[in-house]
Amino acid sequence: MTNETIIQHRQELNINGYTVIPDVFSESAIGEMIAVIDSADHTGPLFRKTNDLFAIRRFLQEVPSIAPLIFTPGIRQIVRELFGEQHVPVKSIYFDKPGQSNWFVAWHQDLTISVAEKLPVAGYGPWTVKPGQFAVQPPTDILESIYTLRIHLDDTDEQNGALKVLPGSHAKGVYRADSIDLNQTPDVSCCVKKGGVMIMRPLLMHASGRSSNGHNRRVIHIEFSDRELAGGLQWAETRMLSFSGLD
């Protein structure tokens, strides 16, 4: 990215709470990622498969051979320039929304983080505990430290469940979705071509609709933070990134 585009994306993240960067990955690179995902053992407890959704939790841990394909010099430059050199991956999910899916997600903010174990720590709660998974709502400043990077493995638009967002809503703190007035704050659909990435802040109010065009929507979702958690809590996933050789 040039200095001009870096400044543009920083401004969009600060003002709107999201930005889209096209053509980060080539067609062949996306094909390699899909091949690795398809060849993974899908029987583990962190793999979820229904008629409406296929998802892999702790994706980088469950499919470790995907990491070199994701953390290219281009992605590491994005992380360094837009997030900061201290930001590291702390949560990863792979989503595959089939073309015939009726699955949709109502308006919400991403208010939980994944941690290694449940500990009684002031300011952290409520908790969601599933087999091998511990999720908790942290203090707001932790949520504000997070950037979410979404790598699109398919062309995504309004017909196959592209995210809809309320620009600038990330700056309002934590608030209820039922307080939204779409007449006052119109939503925007974030259409992203295959190989592009969308970056968003977790407190950005967002939703997604059902698929209507028969096309899949496959996305790799990775969250980054530069914060340590309180009271002995540890992020469920932490992967260090090297920024050497990028200057």
Mean pLDDT of 63-84: 96
Total Cβ atoms within 10 A of residue 60: 20
More confident residue, 112 or 97: 112
Work out the percent of the chain whose per-residue pLDDT is above 90. 70
pLDDT tops 50 at residue 246 = no
Q: Does position 50 have pLDDT exceeding 80, yes or no?
A: no
Task: Kindly indicate the confidence band of residue 236, based on its pLDDT and cuts at 50, 70 and 90.
Answer: very high
C-alpha span between 44 and 57 (Å, rounded): 10
Residue 210 has pLDDT above 90, yes or no: no
Express each pLDDT in 149-184 by its tens digit: 999 999 998 887 789 999 999 999 999 888 888 778
Other CB atoms within a 10 A radius of the CB of residue 183 amount to 6
Q: Which two tokens stand for residue 117?
A: 């174990």
For residues 23 and 29, what is the distance between their CA atoms, to the nearest angstrom?
11
Top-confidence residue, 52 or 40 = 40
- Summarize pLDDT for 82-107 with one digit per residue, the tens: 999 999 999 999 988 775 556 678 99
Distance CA 190, CA 113 (A): 23
Determine the pLDDT at residue 25: 98
Residue pair 48/57 in contact by the 8 Å Cβ criterion: yes
CA gap 82, 80 in Å, rounded: 6
- The average pLDDT across 216-235 equals 95
Q: Is the pLDDT of residue 44 over 80?
A: no
Q: Where are the domains of the chain?
A: 3-225
* Residue whose structure tokens are 């340590």: 228
Q: How far is it, in rounded angstroms, from Cα 206 to Cα 200?
A: 10
pLDDT band at 214 (very low <50, low <70, confident <90, very high): low
Give the pLDDT mean for 30-35: 97
Query: Across residues 98-125, what is the average pLDDT?
Result: 88
pLDDT in tens, 129-144: 877 789 999 999 999 9
Alpha-carbon distance values, 126 to 101, 106, 137, 138 (Å): 30, 20, 6, 9
CATH 2.60.120.620 assigned to domain 3-225? The reply is yes
